[in-house]
Structure 1
């Protein structure tokens, strides 16, 4: 549930183009690699993927969203997070027994963690980076131990914290004591231009770079339970989704976000 009213605001805002650098290219290469893999999958491989995602959807409905995104006609636009899940799905080719391959085990593996922290290191946003890495490492440990009620709030928080860091670094937010102010007054109706929600930050991020609208983590609508239940989970009134599946989706979103953000350094 989103607390804030939806405002329309048409005033022009100068958007800052993403830098053409190696970090940005690294993120694009991952998506291109996944797209190429999807295009070359056999019918049998694609069917196995779809069945695996359908099975996971029994616990976390967002896997059905991913399955549908990866079942589009050739040449269709594929969502960022769906391509990222496919990037890690390729680990199935290294499995001794593909029938026993478990996508949900991927975040505990070396490949996922190496890719995740390489992308985080590439961001080089601010002094929070070392602390944020430590928190993400703790979330991974909780995930490995099956302590999803501890892992999930940490991941939701880091997704918002990363966005805050980037908006501050790019000059779209200004920190004043414990408050964050909307420098360009993009969101109307705020007392003292004080930003108080992820919804506000998502709206500002879109003005900074329209591609933020492609990141599922920052689509503040009811199209996914992962987003729509966020508020109630963090405030203790939603208790049904502290699961491994929800944790995995949040790790997937975290990687998608960091992989993109590595290309928009200050």
Structure 2
């Protein structure tokens, strides 16, 4: 849980002796997706946006993705939208009838699963990597078997768990008994620099790469009508989002988060 008295408007700061290691890391996947977006023909672009709008009737987050892709803006396109575009580019190369292709079927395709598991294998997160891979493989099976309650719940846990272990492996978090400590005092206002929730870990990750904050899955629980459900889902009080659509979005979020971690050197 997040402390009620924590000031989320405070800036993220790093102690001076570690400042030289701060850098924004590039991501080849995002660059490829941006290039694909600019090269899409008007018909292909409209077709993809239309598919997203149709899915938004069941999962409002698809409207946010569609807005990112449809409308030009000076603001950088969100991380998760670019990762989705990366896979849509792959689908356009693999599927013979793209107009009839059901976007939600993407997760069941070999090329998606191979790309996801290859990214998992590239992680450097310590001794639990093999177990994380097995859990993600089980999520892929649950998706195919339409067991969305299990799929959604476990994927939310994997997003936070992998991020936590990655930050600990790279020395940003340190386990003190049962609590993680913010080693470089990046997040202001923490009692004893004790990291108590996902949002604090996101603040640490954002210090490594500010673009990481664009990943919607990791924003604070009440930051939008979509992400507000995360806490309630994993704690069992929200039963209305165990769907194929939410599972799909979580797989994209998971891949985006893993792709970010693989760019961070130990």
TM-score normalised according to structure 2 size: 0.88
Distance 1:75 1:38, change over 3 A: farther
CA distance in 2, matches of 1:134, 1:231: 24
Unpaired runs of 5+ residues, structure 1, are none
CA distance in 2, matches of 1:225, 1:45: 29
Q: Secondary structure at the match of 1:181?
A: strand
* Offset at residue 9 of structure 1 (A): 5.2
1:148 maps to what in 2? 148
Distance 1:100 1:185, change over 3 A: same
Structure 1 stretches of 4+ with a deviation exceeding 6 A read none
Once the two structures are superposed, residues 116-164 of structure 1 have per-residue CA deviations (whole angstroms, 9 ceiling, x without a partner) of 1211222222111111111111111111111110011111111101111
Distance 1:185 1:33, change over 3 A: closer
Q: Secondary structure at the match of 2:265?
A: coil
Whether the 8 Å CA contact 1:39–1:74 is kept in 2: the answer is: no
Distance 1:11 1:81, change over 3 A: closer
- The answer to whether structure 1 residue 47 and structure 2 residue 46 are counterparts is yes
Q: Secondary structure at the match of 1:174?
A: strand
TM-score normalised according to structure 1 size: 0.88
Whether the 8 Å CA contact 2:12–2:187 is kept in 1: the answer is: no
1:118 maps to what in 2? 118
Q: Secondary structure at the match of 2:122?
A: helix
1:86 maps to what in 2? 85
Q: Which moved more, 1:95-104 or 1:72-81?
A: 72-81
Whether the 8 Å CA contact 1:202–1:218 is kept in 2: the answer is: yes
* Offset at residue 77 of structure 1 (A): 2.5
Unpaired runs of 5+ residues, structure 2, are none
CA distance in 1, matches of 2:37, 2:12: 38
* Offset at residue 79 of structure 1 (A): 1.4
* Offset at residue 214 of structure 1 (A): 2.6
Whether the 8 Å CA contact 2:142–2:150 is kept in 1: the answer is: yes
Q: Give the root-mean-square deviation of aligned CA atoms.
A: 2.4
Whether the 8 Å CA contact 2:53–2:63 is kept in 1: the answer is: yes
1:177 maps to what in 2? 177
Distance 1:221 1:179, change over 3 A: closer
* Offset at residue 265 of structure 1 (A): 2.8
Once the two structures are superposed, residues 39-93 of structure 1 have per-residue CA deviations (whole angstroms, 9 ceiling, x without a partner) of 1111111111111000000111111000000013287622111111111112134
